[in-house]
Amino acid sequence: AQSVTQPDIHITVSEGASLELRCNYSYGATPYLFWYVQSPGQGLQLLLKYFSGDTLVQGIKGFEAEFKRSQSSFNLRKPSVHWSDAAEYFCAVGPSGGSYIPTFGRGTSLIVHP
Amino acid sequence: DAMVIQNPRYQVTQFGKPVTLSCSQTLNHNVMYWYQQKSSQAPKLLFHYYDKDFNNEADTPDNFQSRRPNTSFCFLDIRSPGLGDAAMYLCATSRKQVTPGEQFFGPGTRLTVL
C-alpha cells in the first residue's frame, strides 16, 4: 500500500531564510506526487505536482520540489521565506491500481519568525 | 473562475441537532469528496462520489450521510452531532481520468458543536 511520511511536525525559520520540507513516500511504481498548502481556517491549495518528466518541479508562490527516485523523496523548497508562507504543508502521493484517491502525509506546520 | 464553494463557512449546532453542510463546484468534475479535518491533523476521507456512485470509507460513522443530487452539488448530513464531530469539513473534487490524485478543495466549513 502507498504511504507518505512527513518526518517534521513543525519547522521554524526566520523570514528571508531558505526552507526545505521533507517528504518520503512508499509506492509500487512511478508515483504521482503533490504538495498542498493550507493557511489557517482555509482549504488546501495545490502548490505543485509531479507526474513524469523533469524531476525538478516549479510551483506557485516561488516553491519548487525535486523528485528523487533513489531516495523515495519529494522535498519542497523555497529560497527565501516570507511571513505569509506560515501555514500547514501536506505532501500527498497519487493513487495506485484502479483507485483515484491520494494518500496524504500528516502535514508539517511552518512557523516564520520576523 | 471555476471553483469549489462551501456553505456555510462557519456552522454552530447543538449536541444532537441535525446539520447539513453544502458544497458546489463549477469545475464539472466527476468525483466529489468529503473530508473531516481536526486540529493539526491531515484530512480524513469520509466518503466520495464517482459520478452518482457513492463510496463510503469503512470507518466513517453511520451518523454521517451524504447526497449528490447532481454533478454540481454535494451535501454532508450529520444526523446527531456529538462533541467529537466538531471539526473542519472539507469538500474536494477531481477528474479521475485526467489527473489521478489531484484534488481541488473548497475553503471548508468549521463546525462547532455546543
Of the candidates B7, B93, B114, B107, the residue with the CA atom closest to the CA atom of residue B51: B93
User: Closest chain B residue to A109 measured between Cα atoms?
Assistant: B40
Residue A110 banded pLDDT, cuts 50, 70, 90? very high
User: Closest chain A residue to B110 measured between Cα atoms?
Assistant: A41
Of the candidates A23, A41, A40, the residue with the CA atom closest to the CA atom of residue A87: A40
Mean pLDDT computed over B90-102: 83
Peptide bond into B8 cis (omega under 30): yes
Count CB pairs under 8 A between chains A and B: 64
With a pLDDT cut of 90, the percent of chain A lying above it is 76
pLDDT for the residue numbered B100:
74
pLDDT for the residue numbered B79:
96
- Give the tens place of pLDDT for each residue, A15-43: 999 999 999 998 877 788 999 999 998 99
Whether the CB-CB separation of A6 and A107 falls below 8 Å is answered with: yes
Contact A44 B92 (CB under 8 A): yes
> Could you give the count of Cα atoms lying within 13 Å of B111 in the half-sphere of its Cβ?
29
Q: Output the CA torsion A41→B55→B22→B77 (10° steps).
A: -100
Cβ neighbors of B8 (< 8 A, separation 6 or more) are: B21, B109
* Nearest-CA distance A4 → chain B (Å): 11
From A32, A43, A93, residue closest to B90, measured CB to CB: A43
Contacts of B105 in chain A (CB under 8 A): 36, 43-45
Considering only residues 56 to 85 of chain B, which have any Cβ-Cβ distance to chain A shorter than 8 Å?
none
Strand A10-14 relative to strand A108-113, pairing:
parallel
3-state secondary structure of A65: strand
What is d(CA B45, CA B66) in angstroms, rounded to the nearest whole number? 13
